[in-house]
A and B are shown apart, each in its own frame.
Chain A
């Protein structure tokens, strides 16, 4: 295992991306997708080969503490494996789903660059190098959304600005961290969480949360669900961004800083996590579009991960990281099912869908497994990671647990609604004959759904091989050294089961009330108090991006006025005073000899006086 292999994990996808851009696409429209899938397969092979190794190296780069330093640790090997796996599955899928899109070539090139940059961000061991890879993802994010079908640029700009703001915060945090630590080498930094250190942590945290899509940096994701190509949603908000964001959040909480339950930062993190869970899932609940509903869940699920890591307890952190992995699996599977539905049924509007279970049985089955996972139904993987997070949250405060559990209720309710509306009931659009999606699209979904089962039933495999090694020595002694197996706290399991039962009951009530699957949560949507909030949200007033634009607009009007005022000093004041002065002087030159003599006399006296004054001063 040499440094070369680490370089290859970045260089191979980047080179493949360049090749895709340069290929003449008219001759072989399938080539970009195939090349992308091949490169990602190679990346996966590299990640598997590299997994058990420990490699670190550093080359001098541009001075000032910036080194080209890469390091493969337990944690980065784990995340790298995830990145390679998800990007491979999504490119295999998009080879078919994007085959006819005119933007296929650009899209696949950006996917490959994204993989390269993500691998770089995970492997980087120098904060500046990390920043270069991390912020570079901003470009591919922009470009991938811009490859969407209809007028995607507004969304691309919105995503760029929101993530760009968090990246600026991250950059400031990196500077502060480097200043406090005296080094930019990530593995050499270990700072206490007090004073400026806490400020630095919060800034880095904003960067991590911006990437992961936590509130209030989320509002571009539902827009992108509509405007961006679907594989993008499965790849970035679905999996890669969660992996990266939570990876970095865990890195700063575990390595760069010492996050303890006593620190005030810990409740802050848990608060953000809990708020994200609840607010986003409430939004997800009332969505009438398959993809948009999933997008809000992509935000909501981050809350569990942040909550878990925020507990600063081993059980919570393991739960948070495990949930990150599980979420990436079921969420990308769900997005891929949305893509299959969109391709075959021609729409993702739940009001026009229905009864797809007959015509698309495999997609339906995959959806059901993934939906059960995200809802926390045992024995699927989501259940186990959620229980770990609950365990940690309850230990830190019942309110966090209660909010997280409430989030589970709404999650289950919204997926009952989604599944009912899309796959069961009567087909509302009878004109179109819908058939099952082609195999290259089904296979990734099947693999992911299979993983949902395997990582649930045999959860010791991911927990003991992937997640727990991240914590290293902190794991020793806790729960006999492992969190694998069925949850030990039966009270929590019982409450979870109760909440799921409640969700089913709620669904039955809603369906009974309105007579159709899509109306299952109307009684919550139109509940007194909630409905006005929903209306406000629907108009976009509550969008933090909108607020930012308004605030900046007002501020820049003031700044512009200041600029105009300064300009007036030159164009107005200076010019007017010059004119006034010349007017005064012109009066003096009126051709009257007497007056000139007087002036000359006064001048002579002034000169004499001045000379005398100077000489007197000199004496």
Chain B
């Protein structure tokens, strides 16, 4: 992969470059195009990142003036990001890569680039992010510090966009840490002592991982003399450096042995847990893993086995924990840890099926898990507790929430025709077709545990005998968001061909093979 050719050195330049890594004609219907100087796409890319990232700092000002204006503008900023990402889809489907960069000294060129992988990830994050912001309208208005909440949530999503489109490791790291800081403030939204402690724990664990990763990034720079991912393509990293990078990725994605901050972070308000645990934050690790080890460096065989083993252990341990826990949100959080293991499995297998499955998994799990967390929010806010031993029979007073929860749960379990089925099938099938039957069997056991702990949760919360008064659903908006996520989980399965098309282009760009 050649470095970016800058047409006006030092100046702002917008170029589109040909994806060299893709053998032409590898994928039917995808043509590699080379064209220059289209301002429009470059601006789209900037909007996707900076509408939320810069706009977020206006929100406290709006908040002083009008609460409604602030809420709506927060949503608009994230929707702008979503719209921009969607606008990149037609080009991405044709195999085009939109890029934008400012040259800088010492290899610190700020460059954004939208290949199919980035566009896919951006759509998932901003789509789920916007639904969660919408949900927050009714959820957060009961609490203090709303300005901080909206600012941090939107900063978080903006940084996420920046991270997704970054092709320079230094800026990727910067965005990475911005998400860390924002999530620290979001988890510590309630100011109780325990809440603040858990927020610190989450920050310390992920920041520790990030620092280890930074050492890895510097080591990569020492080897290659560049921070530009495109210039590193095809390099084989020593296992030690890979391990340094991996520590950062695993800690961010809350995978064994760095998983425990995630359930603890369940003290945050539900939209925050949905945003961090389900849809966006924990997917950063897997996304950057795909970006580094699948599309940039040579994927070492030993590393592959290590990652798959960690993923397997993570999937089983946290699924077991989910069967024992009695806190609604901790159970769902452990479920996230477990499901992240499936994504890592797909990526670790390194074949087209596994990588495509992992991408679909990010989408399907994001939608469904956000639904589960937001349902938890509705239950927690109305029933006043998230202890499942004190809940029960809520299907009578919260029929919509219960059904939407169940549908999302079906998707996470991997029951067709919900989207979760296809992604789960693909990642496990990737293990089988990679002759890794043991991993396949381990994750099959993980899938069984998934069915068990989600049904246990559903039964305890929504069925059985009620404890005390049955809390009703109070906010139509909140229920509508959960129903929307459930519906999207179903549509994602029925129309699986659409995301699958984009994922296949991404795979062909990443691995250089047809999906």
Contact = CB atoms under 8 A, between A and B. Distances in A.
A-B complex is real: yes
A172 interface: yes
A552 B515 contact: no
B444 A559 contact: no
Interface centre among B324, B353, B515 (most CB of A within 10 A): B324
Interface in B155-178: none
B339 to A, nearest CB: 16
Contact of A560 (B261, B324, B416, B504): B324
Interface string A47-65: 0000000000000011110
A556 B416 contact: no
Contacts of A558: 320
Given A62-B500, A175-B440, A161 B417 contact: no
Given A64-B352, A138-B415, A563-B259, A171 B321 contact: no
A553 B259 CA distance: 21
B410 A555 contact: no
Given A168-B448, A171-B425, A172-B428, A553 B515 contact: no
Nearest to B197: A571
Contacts of A63: 356, 500-501, 504, 515
Interface centre among A64, A154, A164, A562 (most CB of B within 10 A): A64
A567 interface: yes
B399 to A, nearest CB: 12
A177 B57 CA distance: 55
Nearest to A59: B497
Given A172-B444, A175-B429, A570 B260 contact: yes
B449 A556 contact: yes
B422 A563 contact: no
Interface stretch (B3-11, B91-99, B280-288, B451-459): B451-459
B319 A168 contact: no
Given A157-B455, A570-B260, A556 B417 contact: no
Contact of A566 (B259, B432, B497): B259
Contact of A569 (B257, B319, B324, B417): B257
B229 interface: no
B425 A128 contact: yes
A560 B453 CA distance: 13
Interface in A168-182: 168-169, 171-172, 175-176, 178-179
A168 B444 contact: yes
Contacts of A171: 425, 428, 444
B421 interface: yes
B353 A157 contact: no
Interface centre among B201, B260, B261, B353 (most CB of A within 10 A): B260
B319 A136 contact: no
A165 interface: yes
A562 B440 contact: no
A139 B428 contact: no
Nearest to B500: A62
B497 to A, nearest CB: 5
B378 to A, nearest CB: 20
Given A62-B496, A153-B463, A571-B201, A559 B432 contact: no
Contacts of B504: 63
Interface in A528-564: 552-553, 555-560, 562-563
Interface centre among B324, B325, B416, B441 (most CB of A within 10 A): B416
Contact of A64 (B353, B452, B455): B353
Interface string B122-166: 000000000000000000000000000000000000000000000
A444 B437 CA distance: 49
B262 to A, nearest CB: 11
A176 B259 contact: no
Contacts of B317: 559, 562-563, 566
Nearest to B360: A62
Contacts of B261: 570
A563 B201 contact: no
Contacts of B219: none
B323 A552 contact: yes
Contacts, number: 120
A135 interface: yes
Given A63-B500, A164-B451, A556 B323 contact: yes
B49 interface: no
Given A563-B320, A566-B260, A139 B415 contact: yes
A179 B432 contact: yes
A132 interface: yes
Interface string B310-335: 00000011111101110000000010
B316 A160 contact: no
B220 interface: no
A499 interface: no
B294 interface: no
Interface in B411-468: 413, 415-417, 421-422, 425-426, 428-429, 432-433, 437, 440-441, 444, 447-449, 451-452, 455, 459, 463
Contacts of A5: none
A131 B425 contact: yes
Contacts of B316: 559
Nearest to B316: A559
Contacts of A567: 260
Contacts of B500: 62-63
B455 A161 contact: yes
Given A135-B416, A566-B257, A560 B452 contact: no
A274 to B, nearest CB: 28
B321 A559 contact: yes
B108 interface: no
A540 B319 CA distance: 26
B256 interface: yes
B205 interface: yes
14 contacts: A63-B356, A63-B501, A131-B416, A132-B416, A136-B417, A171-B425, A171-B444, A175-B428, A552-B448, A552-B449, A556-B449, A559-B318, A559-B319, A570-B261
Interface of A: 61-64, 128, 131-133, 135-136, 138-139, 153-154, 157, 160-161, 164-165, 168-169, 171-172, 175-176, 178-179, 552-553, 555-560, 562-563, 566-567, 569-571
A-B pairs, top 6 by smallest CB distance, nearest first, are A559-B320, A556-B320, A567-B260, A556-B323, A175-B432, A132-B416
Interface of B: 201, 205, 256-257, 259-261, 316-321, 323-325, 334, 352-353, 356, 410, 413, 415-417, 421-422, 425-426, 428-429, 432-433, 437, 440-441, 444, 447-449, 451-452, 455, 459, 463, 496-497, 500-501, 504, 515
Given A172-B432, A555-B320, 19 more contacts: A62-B496, A64-B356, A132-B416, A135-B415, A136-B417, A157-B455, A171-B428, A175-B433, A176-B437, A552-B323, A556-B449, A558-B320, A559-B316, A559-B319, A559-B320, A560-B324, A569-B257, A570-B260, A571-B260
